[in-house]
Amino acid sequence: MTEIFEYEFMRNALAAGLLVSVACGVIGTFVVLNRMVFVSAGIAHAAYGGIGLGYFAGFNPVLGAVGFSVAAALGMGAIERAARQRTDTVIGVIWAAGMALGILLIDLTEGYKADLMGYLFGSILAVPTFDLWIMLGLDVVIVALAVLYYKELLAISFDENFARIQNVPVDRLYLILMCMVGLTVVMMMRVVGLILVIALLTIPPAIGALFTRDMRKTMILASFLGMIFTTIGLLVSFAFDLTSGAAIILVSAVAYLAALVIRSQGRAPS
Amino acid sequence: MTEASPPVVEMDGVGAGYDSELVLENVTLKIASGDFVGIIGPNGGGKTTLIRVILGILQPERGTVRVFGRPVTEVRATVGYVPQILEFDRAFPIRAIDVVRMGRLGRRGLRSAYNKADNEVVDRVMEETGMVDHANRLFGELSGGQRQRALIARALAVEPELLVLDEPTANVDPSLQGGIYDLLAELNESVTILMVTHDLGVVSAHVKSVGCLNRTLHYHGGIHIPEGVLEETFGCSVDFITHGTPHRVFPKHMKGQGS
């Protein structure tokens, strides 16, 4: 199987999987511990509106996705903060409306729409080297934020009220976090596609939380798990000629089930 | 009351609630330094809302709230808050000591790590609350009593001048509740304490002042509750609530008779 490293696209694919796993491990841990899974899935789907806008208006659809996902993240974040009830309905509507807008804009666009499926289901085998640098940059920003604001982010995730009383700028940090979720979602779009983003964002941290007693370790473990899942998924998809995004997600899901079984047998977290 | 020592908490005509529905109405409350105030009331009577208003988490619709004579947002970093343990996700990957360290957040600015002084305070409060042996255990795997102690330790790590507790013995094994109150009595020697609970029995045995809260607050300082106020507060016979000791609700020998 070593011949796969001879292809540049395969080397780039593996590198993309590793880079995305770092952002996933850190941001995904916040998403899982803050119960933002539904919101994050909504952000991912709403981002499709940006893809459509990019096609329609003739600019890079990834830029459209960035704009839409960050806007959706901030909007949903603000709604969740302000309202007390029924936020899931509003989020569900933004989720579907964003997606529908994207579909209609693409309908209205003339001509051949080449890599449309790639945005929905991932196109890890077509990651240009330039994108790897962008992923690396985002990883650096995310890890730096997580290190600098670790104690505040931990406090907000565990007990927001207490953090607020201790004069932590809860709302500002929360919105920064939402922006990072939006950017991470777009970065992951390359690897597993918008539709499956949520699984790769949440499964590694969910497993990580089962086996750690410290949020920092959860993030580190989740990042490594993500790397393992993307790599195995990629190799499986290459060997059997399967869709790589779906292969990565199924590998992750099987691992999650196994982790739940192991954990229920009562092994203490370390 | 001189200007040099304003009341620890002063609420005047406070109304507060959610979505324009008032949960608290016209609440007036003055807590002096060194007091141990227990506010009792039925579930849904506004006890947690009262705490949220005092801590500045919820803005009152009307009336004024002052803590140490200042707007609460200016001084709340010196308030130790102990929430209900039921509010926490027991699967959260966090050790007891990391929870306690959060009490030092207000002392450190953003982007600066906890320092040696912080660790000394944390060690001291872990000692005071008997949590040293459990420091590295997962918070969610501690017993109810231990989790409560960890949260009290966290509030103490603030080095507070006011301790605010929300149902400190809810979900704590009855045999361990006494220990929690003994700890609070000890702490009360140096800190003013405000506690809300629905548990009549424990309040009577441990606090210095009692108030009854059900939308409106009956509070006159001291342990005496006028006839009829309890019935009115709980909306049913106190006889039922205290298991047949209706006329001995507040004299001092009630330990262990709580509901």
Mutate one of B70, B110, B115, B136 to test the A interface: name it (highest A CB count within 10 A): B110
Say if residues A50 and A211 touch (Cβ distance below 8 Å). no
d(CA A184, CA A187): 5
Sorted by where each starts, the structural domains of chain B and their CATH numbers stand as 33-234 (3.40.50.300)
Say what the pLDDT of residue A268 is: 56
From B246's Cα to the closest Cα of chain A, the distance in A is 38
Q: What is the average pLDDT value for chain A, to the nearest integer?
A: 91
Say what the pLDDT of residue A85 is: 64
Say what the pLDDT of residue A182 is: 95
The DSSP bridge partners found for residue B211 are B39, B219
Higher pLDDT, B228 or A156: A156
State the DSSP string of chain A. Answer: -GGGGGSHHHHHHHHHHHHHHHHHHHHHHHHHHTT-HHHHHHHHHHHHHHHHHHHHHTS-HHHHHHHHHHHHHHHHHHHHHH--S-HHHHHHHHHHHHHHHHHHHHHTS-S--TTHHHHHH--GGG--HHHHHHHHHHHHHHHHHHHHTHHHHHHHHH-HHHHHHTT--HHHHHHHHHHHHHHHHHHHHHHH-TTTHHHHHHHHHHHHHHS-SSHHHHHHHHHHHHHHHHHHHHHHHHHHT--HHHHHHHHHHHHHHHHHHHHHTTPPP-
Tell whether B54 is within 8 A of chain A (Cβ). Answer: no
CA distances from A124 to A11, A18, A29, A237 (A): 10, 12, 23, 11
Cβ contacts of A166 on chain B, cutoff 8 Å? 77, 102-103, 105-106, 158
In this complex, the residue of A157, A167, A209 whose CB is nearest that of residue B77 is: A167
Instruction: Say yes or no for a CB contact (<8 Å) between B106 and A166.
Output: yes
State the DSSP string of B17-41. Answer: EETTEEEEEEEEEEE-TT-EEEEE-
- Quick check: pTM over 0.90? no
In this complex, the residue of A168, A169, A215 whose CB is nearest that of residue B93 is: A215
Mutate one of B105, B111, B139, B158 to test the A interface: name it (highest A CB count within 10 A): B105
pLDDT tens readout for residues A47-73: 999 999 999 998 988 899 999 999 999
Tell whether B140 is within 8 A of chain A (Cβ). Answer: no
Say what the pLDDT of residue B42 is: 83
Instruction: Say yes or no for a CB contact (<8 Å) between A161 and B106.
Output: no
From B132's Cα to the closest Cα of chain A, the distance in A is 17
pLDDT tens readout for residues B14-52: 999 887 788 999 999 999 999 999 998 888 888 999 999
pLDDT tens readout for residues B89-124: 889 999 999 999 999 998 888 888 899 999 999 999
Q: Which residues of chain B fall below pLDDT 70?
A: 1-4, 202, 224-228, 230-259
